[in-house]
Amino acid sequence: MLISLAVLFFGVSLLLSFLISKEVKKGVTERYVLPTRMYLMFVPRDLVWGVSDLGFVNTLAFIGYSVERGAIDKETALRIYDALYAVTLYNPRYFDPYYVGNAFLTWETGLYREAIDLLKRGMRYVDDWRIPFYIGFNYFYFLGENAKGAEYLSLAAKHPQAREYNLIPLLASRLYYEEGKIEVALALLKEQLKVMKNESMKGAIRVRIVTLERAKRIYEAMRVFERRFGRRPGSLEELVRAGLVPKDIRDGAGGRFYITSDGKVRSERVLFPIRKKALEKK
Amino acid sequence: MRFLLGFAYITLKENVRRKSFYGVVVVYLVSLIFSRILMEFSLQDPSKVLADYTYSFLSLFLFLSVLFIATDTMAKDIEKKSVYLVLSKGITRDAYIFGRMFGFLVFTLALVSLLGTLFLVGLWVLNDLTVGVFRKEVHIAGGLVVLLSLWVKIFLLSTVVLFLSTFMSNFFLVFLVSVVVLIAGSSVENLYHFVSIEKERISAIVRYTVTFLFYVLPSFSSPGPDVVLGLQKVEARHVSLDLLKAVAYSGFLTVTGVLIFRKRELA
Amino acid sequence: MEILLVKDIRKSFGKVEVLKGVSFSVRSGEVFGFVGPNGAGKSTTMKIIMDFIRQDSGEVLLFGRMNSDPAVKRRVGFLPEHPYFYTNVTGREFLRFLQLTMSLEESLFWERAGYYAEKIQIDWALDKKISEYSKGMLQRFGLLQAVVSEPDLLILDEPMSGLDPIGRKIVADLILELKENGKTVFFSTHILPDVERICDRACVIIDGRVTDLVESGDLQNIEDIFMERVREIGLREVL
């Protein structure tokens, strides 16, 4: 009799749990699951490690839930940013929140400045090349601030863990080039060449160095031309005809150079305009 | 000074035979496995997540064990009057308090050695065997610094209990106040940090109150799991100052406890 | 020679005056009974003698010195009314704790412990955990911890409490043996026949006052004296 009663009670409690679970799902709100700075502030310091990790898992689950529901409004996105900020404030050496923050806040919600803000804290605490890389990428790709992008990408490129990835210095050098800082781009690439070990990776760097050195020579020739003729050259051929650059000048990969209408030196194979979509795929 | 040995002996014998003592060890082993499961939620930092959880569980179990055991030990002495048997042997009240303090010092060392070894070995094995490409190394030296700090902090908590027991007879009250001191002492550093960086936004009263609490409350935090993984260097100056404060605070509580206990009516 | 001198002690807990000027003395080598009903102030007096609580006024001298002097306590053995021991240790481990805290010479201590444990018939249980002891065993073990250092004065609060007749006889025999060996015993009790049997002198305490000091010649009448005093004061709860 009593056993049946106990089983009955347990059965009822299971049923109630099922009903409550529906209520809980219905009421998932950012207030319910997202950690806040205020909440974590009162968690004992020794427990804040585990609690903030759990807070991050909650945030991640909430992001998944929100993405599944469709478009995320700015207010919700900012709450998620606050949650990630809180987690990284009390557990600043945990990489995942920076990783997720970068991916979610930029591609999904457009909070580029907030993502960079979060990542800059990460740079202070986490010794990982990806963080300056993300910052640099966000500056260049989303905000169009090539100089800042190049600055952070070169920091990533110099990181011991990232020395063998030639994509970072290549991209950084391109951004410096776009900003007219060819000397800085060359210095970065040459320095990178010294520390890299992988020969196939070095190959692309050498090609870029050759290209940039030749582009630099063309720029110098353009300046001489301008002084001599009082106008900018209309094409590379004019420089060749003036004897300022050799006839067969090519980029490191064998592509031809050309001068754009706004006076920018580009080449067919290396110094073509940056195609962001192509980069995205990489 | 031989009486200190007597107290160390009885505190160890009395407490390592508790079923709850072994319960804590078993539950901690389970929590290591649980931490391993929680690690699966990490995207690119599994070692850190594993260290965070195993450390938080270690700290939680150490502080809770000491809280229960120290409160229960003192309750037996004061509430149930075991202290009569000690004081009637010509042991002075001062010697009793110092003896109990020494007993807790030895017991907390035993506790932190046992659970700390499980923590370091557990973390090392789980990290080495189950974490793949994003693995970070476990630094034993860093781990030992963390355990040393935890030992000093749980000893500090035991002296809080000892101090409160010198003037409170009720087990539950001592436990409750100790919990409040533990939570306040553990969070006040966060609060202090917060009011320091948000000076303009916080009212002067709150700022002064938090600063006051920061100065007068004991701090229970330790360097944390980042040191064990080598993500954070041991800040020698900060850690040393923090440990010295804990030792000084334990000394303050013990001596004040002695002064109060001298006057205490053991009715 | 007076080993214990209690002079006009008074003690109040809040507004309730528990001891109203208690005075008596215990001489060297005698067995002194302290008799009174529940709540008369026996345990409070003993706690004051042991300096666990402090009297509001009056004086307690042990071996001619203030009772707060730890050196004189080393010459005293005490059994509280409800001895509470650390329950997770064995009897032997608790004795080891005493030996260490009192810094007693090890071989002599264990020799004495063995002797008295056998005498009190608790030797067979010394390696059991104290939590497994029955009430009577706890009482006997309490007595063992009081006598093991062979103190000059034994203060026993209700030593017969919780003991069966055999246990009571064992304790009574031990007290008499200690007396033969020149020790002094001061004990409180409810059990008047025990007083008659083993005491040299006794005093009656009722409602915080010592009403009678009963010398050896009058001990056979202690029950009558006690009942008469109780009737006079009108206490309902006796024994």
Q: What is the three-class DSSP state of C205?
A: strand
Provide the CA A26 distance to its chain's centre, in angstroms. 35
Alpha helix segments (H runs only) across chain C = 42-49, 70-73, 91-101, 106-120, 135-147, 165-180, 192-198, 222-233
Partners of A48 on chain B (C-beta within 8 Å) are 56, 190
**Distance between CA atoms of residues C20 and C24, nearest Å:** 13
**Distance between CA atoms of residues C239 and C237, nearest Å:** 7
Contacts of B among chains (3+ CB pairs under 8 A): A, C
Mutate which: B88, B102, B171, vs C, most C CBs within 10 A: B88
Contacts of A among chains (3+ CB pairs under 8 A): B
B7-25 mean pLDDT: 91
Contact: B194, A49; criterion CB under 8 Å: no
Paired with C78 in beta bridges are: C155
The alpha-carbon gap from B80 to the nearest alpha carbon of chain A, in Å, equals 33
Q: What is the mean pLDDT of chain A?
A: 86
Q: Is B in contact with C (3 or more beta carbon pairs below 8 Å)?
A: yes
Q: Which pLDDT score is estimated for B191?
A: 85
Contact: B87, C52; criterion CB under 8 Å: yes
Provide the CA A133 distance to its chain's centre, in angstroms. 5
Q: Which pLDDT score is estimated for A201?
A: 81
**Distance between CA atoms of residues B265 and B169, nearest Å:** 10
Domain range list for chain A? 16-126, 136-282
pLDDT one-digit tens code per residue, A197-219: 888 888 888 988 999 999 999 99
Q: Which pLDDT score is estimated for C235?
A: 62
Residue C42, number of CB atoms within 10 A of its CB: 22
Q: Is the pLDDT of residue A269 over 80?
A: no
Q: Is the pLDDT of residue B35 over 50?
A: yes
The first and second tokens of residue A69, run together, are 């529901």
Closest CA to C206 of C186, C190, C218, C221: C190
Q: Is the pLDDT of residue B60 over 50?
A: yes
Judge residue C35's burial from the number of C-beta atoms within 10 Å of its C-beta, 0-12 exposed, 13-18 middle, 19 or more buried: buried
Q: Which pLDDT score is estimated for B143?
A: 96
pLDDT one-digit tens code per residue, C65-90: 999 888 888 899 999 988 888 889 99
Which residues of chain B have a Cβ shorter than 8 Å from any chain C Cβ? 2-3, 5-7, 9-10, 13-15, 17-18, 76, 80-82, 84-92, 99, 265-267
Residue B97, number of CB atoms within 10 A of its CB: 25
**Distance between CA atoms of residues C11 and C44, nearest Å:** 8
The first and second tokens of residue C22, run together, are 């208690």
pLDDT one-digit tens code per residue, B214-248: 999 998 988 899 999 999 998 899 899 999 999 99
Q: Is C100 on the interface with B (CB under 8 A)?
A: yes
* Between C125 and B200, the higher pLDDT residue: C125
A36-53 mean pLDDT: 89
- Report which DSSP code applies to A106: I
Q: Out of B63, B191, B224, whose CB is closest to A49?
A: B224
Domain range list for chain B? 2-263
- A15-29, B108-122, C36-50: segment of lowest average pLDDT: A15-29
**Distance between CA atoms of residues C48 and C59, nearest Å:** 10
A100-105 mean pLDDT: 91
pLDDT above 90: percentage of residues in chain A: 31
Q: Which pLDDT score is estimated for A274?
A: 67
Q: Is the pLDDT of residue C201 over 70?
A: yes
Q: Is the pLDDT of residue B58 over 70?
A: yes
pLDDT tier, A220 (very low <50, low <70, confident <90, very high otherwise): very high
Strands C201-206 and C31-35: parallel
Contact: C53, B5; criterion CB under 8 Å: no
Q: What is the three-class DSSP state of C9?
A: strand
Contact: B265, C52; criterion CB under 8 Å: yes
Q: Is the pLDDT of residue C236 over 60?
A: no
Closest CA to B21 of B159, B147, B113: B113
Q: What is the three-class DSSP state of C163?
A: coil
**Distance between CA atoms of residues C202 and A104, nearest Å:** 89
Is-contact C185 C172, C-beta < 8 A?
Answer: no
Judge residue C180's burial from the number of C-beta atoms within 10 Å of its C-beta, 0-12 exposed, 13-18 middle, 19 or more buried: exposed
Contact: B45, A43; criterion CB under 8 Å: no
Q: How many degrees, rounded to 5, is the angle at CA B14 between CA B8 and CA B16?
A: 95
The alpha-carbon gap from B58 to the nearest alpha carbon of chain A, in Å, equals 9
Contacts of C among chains (3+ CB pairs under 8 A): B
Q: Which pLDDT score is estimated for A70?
A: 79
What separation in angstroms does the CA of A61 have from each of A80, A263, B108?
A: 11, 50, 39
The first and second tokens of residue C156, run together, are 């026993």
Q: Which pLDDT score is estimated for C239?
A: 47
> What's the predicted TM-score (pTM) here?
0.87
Q: Which pLDDT score is estimated for A28?
A: 61
Partners of B68 on chain C (C-beta within 8 Å) are none
Strands C57-62 and C65-66: antiparallel
Q: Which pLDDT score is estimated for A169?
A: 85
* Cβ under 8 Å to B: A residues 71-100: 90-91, 93-96, 99-100
Q: Which pLDDT score is estimated for A25?
A: 67
Q: Which residue has the tokens 């807790």?
A: B104
Partners of B60 on chain A (C-beta within 8 Å) are 46-47
A68-81 mean pLDDT: 85
Q: How many degrees, rounded to 5, is the angle at CA A192 between CA A188 and CA A195?
A: 150
**Distance between CA atoms of residues A267 and A249, nearest Å:** 10
B/e letters for C198-209, b = 16+ CB within 10 Å, e = fewer, are: bbbbbbbbbbbb
Contact: B9, C97; criterion CB under 8 Å: yes
pLDDT one-digit tens code per residue, B104-142: 999 999 999 999 999 999 999 999 998 888 899 999 999
**Distance between CA atoms of residues B252 and C178, nearest Å:** 45
Q: Which pLDDT score is estimated for A275?
A: 65
The first and second tokens of residue C77, run together, are 């053995």
pLDDT above 70: percentage of residues in chain C: 97
Judge residue C128's burial from the number of C-beta atoms within 10 Å of its C-beta, 0-12 exposed, 13-18 middle, 19 or more buried: middle
pLDDT tier, A183 (very low <50, low <70, confident <90, very high otherwise): confident
Q: Which pLDDT score is estimated for C63?
A: 93
Strands C65-66 and C201-206: unpaired
Supply φ then ψ for residue A263, to 5 degrees: 85, 20
C113-123 mean pLDDT: 94
Residue B256, number of CB atoms within 10 A of its CB: 15
Q: Can you list the domains of chain C with their CATH numbers?
A: 2-75+151-233 (3.40.50.300), 89-150 (no CATH)
Q: Out of C74, C85, C99, whose CB is closest to B90?
A: C74
C202-216 mean pLDDT: 90
| Amino acid symbol at C87 | T
**Closest A-chain CA to B61:** A47
Mutate which: B22, B83, B85, B171, vs C, most C CBs within 10 A: B85
DSSP state string for A183-196 = HHHHHHHHHHHHH-
C183-206 mean pLDDT: 90
